[in-house]
Amino acid sequence: MSGKGLFRQGGFLAGCGGPLAFLAAGCLLVGAFRLARKNRPAMEWVAAHISVPFKRAASALVNPLPFSGAEAVCLLVGCGALAFLIRGIWRQIHGQGGLGSCLLVLAALAVWIYAGVCLFWGIHYYTESFEKKAGMSDEGVSLDQLEQAALWFREKVNETAPLVKRDENGDFGYTWKEILADSPGLYDGVLEEYPFLAGPERSPKPALFSKLMSASNFTGYLFPFLGESTLNVDCPAVFIPVTVAHEFSHQRGVAQEEQANFVGIEACIACDKPSYVYSGYLFGYLHLTNALWEADPERWARVEEGLCAQAKQDMALNNAYWAQYQEKVVANTMQSVYENFLYSYDQSMGIRSYGACVDLLAQKYGGEG
């Protein structure tokens, strides 16, 4: 093999001691997490003394920024990694070698990023859940409870739909800027019932790449390394308020998606902000009636018949928006990737776990069945 060989120039092993050690250390950290993740006291300690304090400090630093710090970090890291790879390829082509070392560094970086996700996010799947802290049952609910909860949410939707601002077409009339600006104090109303959800106020950030998020079927995310919420602001605004509340629940340690949906709804309907209250009720109604449709279409039809025209219009606009992305390759791929991500943290329901908040809603608002 010539001096231009991938591993020959300068001696591959001699030039890769640092990257190999970096890679090994990252693998050890991931391995330690995988071994210790079922040890709840250990996960609780790491969350309380490392993960949560770090994210609160980091989120305080980026909070004043008018843009998403998460997107800025991802762009910088992504562009830096790409430039580093191009440099390695250029050096290899010109006989200076080092591509193997370059690839090893990038592999080590990827492992450390994953290790960071485990440390600052994955451990929260193994701490005490919201459901346990709130003293709620993890048992199923009856069909009668499901129907009664759906009826209760329908009445609340009908009460609040006329109270929100609407545009000349009768659509939900709040802009994403108004919604995000109105987020301070969102959790104040829910803390009396769930005091463990207390946390520092942070501002949700609009995503520059919102259309890409829509193509991936995402409405928002919490960036583990900064504890910052970034929102898709391209989608219809009616569910942006409850999405803000959902992401704020992640900032307060609620990891499981189905429980974050429930907490987001609870925070919205307990606050004094009309756009948030209505969004929470409509989102809860949507979850309950989707489950009711699968369980008993006739009961669903009776519930749906009594929904007000304004709410039906809001949901129709939302459905039309997302329908254009349903068959997109990017959306299907990203949903598959995210489902596998949930499975990797023992979230056995995968992407379907988003619908499990129905049990909590039906328990609380559906009576005894």
Q: What are the pLDDT digits (tens) for 320-356?
A: 999 988 766 445 554 555 455 445 545 444 433 335 6
Percent of the chain with pLDDT over 90: 73
Greater model confidence, 144 or 368: 144
Average pLDDT over every residue of 242-254: 96
Greater model confidence, 181 or 335: 181
Looking at mean pLDDT, say which of 99-103, 188-192, 327-331, 344-348 comes out highest. Answer: 188-192
To the nearest whole number, what is the mean pLDDT of the chain?
Answer: 88
Q: Check pLDDT > 80 for residue 276.
A: yes
In this prediction, residue 191 carries a pLDDT of 96
- pLDDT level of residue 16 (50, 70, 90 thresholds): low
Which of 218, 212, 225 has the alpha carbon at shortest distance from 243? 218
In this prediction, residue 320 carries a pLDDT of 94
Q: Check pLDDT > 50 for residue 3.
A: no
- Residue 171 makes CB contacts below 8 A (sequence gap 6+) with 313, 314, 317
- pLDDT level of residue 19 (50, 70, 90 thresholds): confident
Whole-number Cα distances in Å, 113 to 31, 225, 226, 255, 257: 14, 9, 13, 19, 22
In this prediction, residue 210 carries a pLDDT of 96
Count the Cβ atoms, other than its own, within 10 Å of residue 159: 13
